[in-house]
Amino acid sequence: MLADALHISKSTCHQILQEDLDKRKLNARLVPHALTQNQKEVRASICADLLHEAQNDATFVNSIIAEDESWCFQYDPQTKRQSAEWRSTGTPPSKKVRKQPSTTKTMIIVFFDARGIVHHEFVPQGQTVNQEVYIFVPRRMREAL
């Protein structure tokens, strides 16, 4: 658009932007959502409380349990890069059939602390991950502990 508006070639426009003006084309980072000022203040307050607790109690960090979830596939096809091999010059490359990623997947929910995993559960295949899952899984984790 700049090249058309200024009636210059695209390569000249590109050169001016990169070499003369030291500009780079960067993609915007996607964020899940924008926080309101109130949400930012609440998070900062919670972080300050946690920091205060950690400074006053040396064992506090060991009492924190975090949670994460991830999709697990029945299999992951090997990438082209993973299947690379060192071969002699003139030797033909091996052939690899293109595979689609597995459609069979399940979610694993893992709870861990400073020492490692304390509880994990696989969400049954076909079950919707909704508020019930997020309510009952931590309860079962507490019962297991």
- At residue 99, the pLDDT reads 62
- What pLDDT score does 43 carry? 94
Residue 102: what pLDDT?
62
Neighbours of 63 (CB within 10 A): 10
Q: Write out pLDDT tens, residues 51-63.
A: 999 999 988 988 8
In the predicted model, residues of the chain with pLDDT beneath 50 are none
> What is the predicted pLDDT for the residue at 52?
94
Q: What is the reported pTM?
A: 0.51
Q: CA–CA separation, 25 vs 29, rounded Å?
A: 13
| Domain positions in the chain | 65-79+100-145
> Would you state the structure tokens that stand for residue 71, as one six-digit string?
């999709």
Residue 79's pLDDT is 67
Q: From the DSSP assignment, how many helices (H) and strands (E) are in the chain?
A: 4, 3
